[in-house]
Structure 1
Amino acid sequence: MAKVTPKKKSNTGFIAVVVVVLAAGGAGLWATMQNKPAPIELPSGAPAMKAEGYLRGNPNAPVSIIEFADFECPGCGQFATLQGPDIKQRLVDAGLANFRFYDFPLTQIHQNTLFAHLSAACANDQGKFWEMHDQLFAGQPDWSTQATGNPRKLIDGYAAAIGLDMAAYGTCMDSQKHLAQIQANQAEGNTRGVNSTPTIIVGNKVYPGGLTFDELKKVVDSLAAAPAVAPAVAPAADSAKK
């Protein structure tokens, strides 16, 4: 883009614009500075939900890896595209760990992210959460807030590409069927003290910003090698006297 040299003029108009912007979006700006997600509005009367997340791998694997992530977060996209394949192949498929993804949409700075989280949840109804997960992160630069004000056409294209029943998917999206579940997953992150994305939790350790695969592998190996704590054994009862 060609660079235009602005003419000198009074900055009174600029100051007025800044004042209007701050007045209109001050609360959102403060939330952004605090790295806290804006609350998701639910329909009145929506039932309370329990956080579940989306599991990849054996639920009984010796180690569990948890991620709280925002589909529009660039760091989350980098973690998914760079670390994700190794995590799946060398940890999850190898039976060393399972992996659970929790929604943590930062809606005050990523205006399109909630649509993406809803689409992944609707894909999950058809057993294809992880396929949609991968599509969303791979295409993030195309559907993000910086790229478009209407991400639906692109994201619906991902749904078709992974073979979803588009009628069922469309009904799910139009009704915002999984909005309460997304909020429950986000609330779980708030309870755990998550305030940035991606945040990885393994065992009792929290890693804001994620980990490289090598770092994560060391953590998993250390937990897998830790000796199991034997359950307390109750003392044997005295034999009955004859």
Structure 2
Amino acid sequence: MAGKTNNRRKVVKNASARPKTFYYVLGAIALTGASILGYSVLRKPSGAIGTPVTVDPATLGPAQGYLLGKPDAPVKIVEFADFECPGCAQFATVTEPDVRKRIVEAGLANFTFYDFPLPQHKNSPAASMAAACANDQGKFWEMHDRIFLAQYQWNTQATDNPKPFFAKYASDLGLNMPAWEACYDSQKHRQRILSNFAEGERRQVNSTPTFIIGDRKYPNALPYDAIKAIVDSVAAK
């Protein structure tokens, strides 16, 4: 796997210790929810959709997702994802570009990303924080893309301190680094990430990625053709 390819990893020296409070808090919240105890990244054959579950799209609550596309688009695509989830990375790098260009940019639907860091992925909350801090400077989606593309560099198997990698991505994106680092180190968006996670629990998300399109929940990665067919079906109602 790419994540284990030694010659693709970068060695970062003199890395500063990362803040720990946020990760402990997230872990404590995770352990209070009965459903989270059974969480795992569920893998199914490529292209499998899984059995959809009916949900009420009006009950998203106060969680703050990241919107791509027109707020008033006729169909809403919602993703609950973990930045360290391999299936989420595959969707983000392989399928999502087509979804953005051919569905979102065409005005057929909008797309909202919600953080759902699974407890076994210890570096995922840090990735969510890195992206949230990039969002302060209008670069959430650019950081989202870079984090998923380079998942093998910063995941739990690769390092116990992912901050230097995220800082490099932020610098490459031209962000104001003092502002980004102050945001990251202070855990400025901890509540936003926790709220998104809690919203996923409330909506009985138990694997990543999970998609909600219209009033149906799909607990598995979806190929482009399936997403397009679902969007067309919802729009026709």
Asked whether the equivalents of residues 74 and 235 of structure 2 are also in contact (C-alpha less than 8 Å), the reply is yes
Deviation digits for residues 94-134 of structure 1 (CA, Å, limit 9, x no counterpart): 0000000000001x211111110000000000111000000
Q: What's the CA shift for 1:170? A: 0.6
Percent identity, aligned pairs only?
55
Could you tell me which residue of structure 2 aligns to residue 110 of structure 1?
A: 121
What's the secondary structure of 1:100's corresponding residue? strand
2:107 maps to 1:95 = yes
Task: Flag the structure with larger Rg.
Answer: 1
What CA RMSD, in Å, does the superposition of the two structures yield over aligned residues? 2.0
Asked whether the equivalents of residues 212 and 218 of structure 2 are also in contact (C-alpha less than 8 Å), the reply is yes
Could you tell me which residue of structure 2 aligns to residue 10 of structure 1?
A: none
Work out the CA distance in 2 between the residues paired with 1:31 and 1:136: 27
Q: TM-score under structure 2 normalisation?
A: 0.75
Q: What's the CA shift for 1:52? A: 1.4
Could you tell me which residue of structure 2 aligns to residue 204 of structure 1?
A: 215
Give the alignment partner of residue 153 of structure 1, picking from 164, 168, 174. Answer: 164
Q: What's the CA shift for 1:50? A: 2.8
Structure 2, unmatched stretches of 5+, are 1-30, 42-60
Q: What's the CA shift for 1:155? A: 1.0
**Residue correspondences, number:** 187
Structure 1, unmatched stretches of 5+, are 1-26, 38-48, 227-242
Could you tell me which residue of structure 1 aligns to residue 195 of structure 2?
A: 184
2:47 maps to 1:35 = no
2:89 maps to 1:77 = yes
Work out the CA distance in 2 between the residues paired with 1:113 and 1:220: 29
Could you tell me which residue of structure 1 aligns to residue 71 of structure 2?
A: 59
The residue type paired with residue 114 of structure 2 is: Y
Work out the CA distance in 2 between the residues paired with 1:32 and 1:184: 15
Q: TM-score under structure 1 normalisation?
A: 0.74
Runs of 4+ in structure 1 over 6 Å off: 30-33
Give the alignment partner of residue 181 of structure 2, picking from 142, 160, 170. Answer: 170
Asked whether the equivalents of residues 35 and 206 of structure 2 are also in contact (C-alpha less than 8 Å), the reply is no
Asked whether the equivalents of residues 32 and 109 of structure 1 are also in contact (C-alpha less than 8 Å), the reply is no
